[in-house]
Chain A
């Protein structure tokens, strides 16, 4: 996923990059924040206070559930059952409300800071969060009844697009897609970062590696995430929420790579510092770009992509050259609306003054 964030980061300070990392994956903004601050903390060797780590785990896992809820619901909608989509989004709303409480924003929280989190958990958060965690199993039961158990859904997903474990590894996949193929690789277990070594949870695995497994692994992962949140809420320690970090962040010159397990796979961040207040290099590798690169190398799809782009450009050019003049002349040239070029500015309708261009 290339959005030019690397270049934007070069002209901003380390803290100013945080709001941009939300936009890498707006379904799990908290985890993207975490991936970035994790790298800078590693570079500066900052110790994060325990309470901050626990808060990060809670909001991170909530983010994972929110992201998987979208995956589940959108999956149902895409194979032809929009009802499932509505039901998952109903429950996702509660997580969005929790994020709004804690960070002031729903999708782009920018809640993590280098060395901790932006603010302590607000009053009533813990109660509301644990209420949601208590409710989640009922909701998952509902999804199983609505989506998983549905025969049409099963017919359309079981045995479709089987990805063997070897191939999944060859394609350098990660996250639920890799685990659905039966490969037990979860960074939270394989190389525990933060405080994940203190929690008791399992890594759900698929058996066949088909579409159904990729769907069902996410449902099971939501249950495990809920289990982690429950433990984190019970053992939430008291204390500061931000480590000893000066206001002006100036990491030593060097480079660092850090990775976390995001909802869609490994989120790796590579930060290069020249010792000033601004990063000189910043790369965030996501699952998609890796698949894309591998796939292009593997199937010669680069040529296809180039041809596709070329033809799209050609069509646009032809439209500009041939279609627009004719259309424009017929519509009466100058008096066309300058924005949409279709309707006349005063073709019978009198716009109120405040609407006029």
Chain B
């Protein structure tokens, strides 16, 4: 009979009319997001060793890393992530030896103003704090070395006499 196929199709759609909905009401309800999801990037300042691997791994030159050498130690002074050029491929996360750069599950990345798209992770206070820490550590180390030297000299002096 002509029209049988049409009726069959209508029966299928009618059947779904009485079944629960498959859609999700987005802002109120949210689908679970898997762990490997690439959302907004996150940067851990204390973990970063300024090895430049993420900068080299990125296909689009999204990451800008600025460093400064304080007492033979590299301090990260700038870590800018220009999200508008990011492909969210995860090559930077994969190349990082210390897990300093990570991607969170936050996918709502829209901004009202263009300059806000670029994320500037490093704050000046952090850099100052780190620099002071390194200097302090270096001073302590120097003091320790001096003390040891003095002790050795004393010992040698005792042995000599």
Contact = CB atoms under 8 A, between A and B. Distances in A.
Interface of A: 12, 15-20, 83, 90, 97, 100-105, 108, 110, 118-119, 122, 142, 145-147, 149-152, 154, 354-355
Interface in B1-35: 2-6, 8-9, 11-13, 22, 31, 33-35
B121 interface: no
B94 interface: yes
A64 B34 CA distance: 22
Contacts of B103: 104
Contacts of B3: 151
Given A12-B59, A150-B5, A142 B87 contact: no
Given A16-B57, A145-B5, A145-B8, 18 more contacts: A15-B91, A16-B59, A16-B91, A19-B91, A83-B13, A100-B36, A104-B34, A104-B37, A104-B88, A105-B37, A108-B87, A110-B87, A118-B94, A149-B4, A149-B5, A150-B9, A151-B4, A152-B6
Q: For chain B, what secondary structure do more than half of its interface residues adopt (helix, strand, loop), or is it mixed?
A: loop
B129 to A, nearest CB: 32
Interface residues of B, number: 30
A101 B3 CA distance: 43
Contacts of B35: 122
Nearest to A154: B5
Interface string B73-107: 00000000000000111110010000000010000
A151 B87 contact: no
Contacts of A16: 57-59, 91
Interface string B22-65: 10000000010111111000000000000000000111000000
